[in-house]
Amino acid sequence: MAISSPVFVVTAVHNRREITQAFARRLASQTLPGIHLVVVDDGSTDGTADAVRGVYGATTILTGSGHLWWGGSLHKAVTWLRAQNLPDSTVVVFMNDDVSFDDEFFARAVEELRGLPSRSFLVAPGVFSTSGRLSEEAGVTDWSRFKIMHYGDRPDRIDHATTRSLLMLWADLKGVGGFHPTLVPHYTSDYIFTMTAHRQGIRLVPAKSVCAKFSDETTGDHGLGTSRGWARVRKMFSPRFSYNPLHQAFFVWYICPWYYKIPCWARILVTAVKHLR
């Protein structure tokens, strides 16, 4: 049976029961009615699904075996959404379960999204709770140096965004398609998705009405620690490592302009060698 709702919030989880439960409680306190939560539970063994259902009744649980990761989980959710025969005006939100927000967040964000010109995604920025650092969650890619740059005073130049807190209309999302979870299962999967959207003419617009709170402690694995030898190699090639050289190489393969591919691959190789030292 198809589920009808004006807003679908999609998140992916794995054994973070308390964090995901707190996320569901924040949704339950929203002033905007009719939000349906879609949780892709990728092999949790801590009772996450039952805990979320107990907090937020309007929840659909999709399951994985523990190998979907972020890109695979969002791809599974998009496939499920297609089966619901949603109206084009339905709002879909991709959001990490460790994101915090006030009770008016979705009411303001959805209103701002609906007020944008057609073919626009709304990117919600956030402040990291411990460091106080502002993260714009969107930027400009300098392929010549293989770097992510701030857009400065030119938001019209934005060519990518994260999916940490991203809002879009179903009409635009279904046109972009899904993700590439086999070769890019986790980090940069969101960049491929939003860069593809941008190349199709969709604007990535920084939100002005909302700002979320992000967690420094529960976001990502960006270092290799003190591991050595094969343990260090295994960690570097894990999907949990943000600069996994294989995934970086496939990211370049999918989305980088052809004339920058070889220089970018060379930079990835040099960085991988440095990480192994």
Q: Is the pTM of this model over 0.75?
A: yes
Q: Residues 78-106: pLDDT tens digits?
A: 999 999 999 999 999 999 999 999 999 99
Euclidean distance between the first and final Cα of the chain, in Å? 55
Q: Residues 129-151: pLDDT tens digits?
A: 888 999 999 999 999 999 999 99
Task: State the Cα angle at 159 between 185 and 67, rounded to 5°.
Answer: 5
Q: Residues 108-121: pLDDT tens digits?
A: 999 999 999 999 99
Q: What angle separates helix 245-255 from helix 189-199, to the nearest 10 degrees?
A: 10
Token duo for residue 51: 């805990």
Task: State the Cα angle at 221 between 219 and 223, rounded to 5°.
Answer: 135
- Structural domains of the chain, ranges and CATH numbers in brackets: 7-214 (3.90.550.60), 229-276 (no CATH)
Q: Residues 169-184: pLDDT tens digits?
A: 999 999 998 799 999 9
Question: Is the model's pLDDT at 221 over the cut of 60?
Answer: no
Return the percent helix, strand and coil in the chain, to nearest 5. Answer: 35, 20, 40
Render the burial of 29-58: b for 16+ CB within 10 Å, e for the rest: ebebeebbbbbbbbebeeebbebbbebbeb
Token duo for residue 109: 């964000």
Distance from C-alpha of 253 to C-alpha of 273, rounded to nearest angstrom: 20
Specify the pLDDT at position 219. Answer: 65
Question: Could you tell me the pLDDT band of residue 224, with boundaries at 50, 70 and 90?
Answer: confident
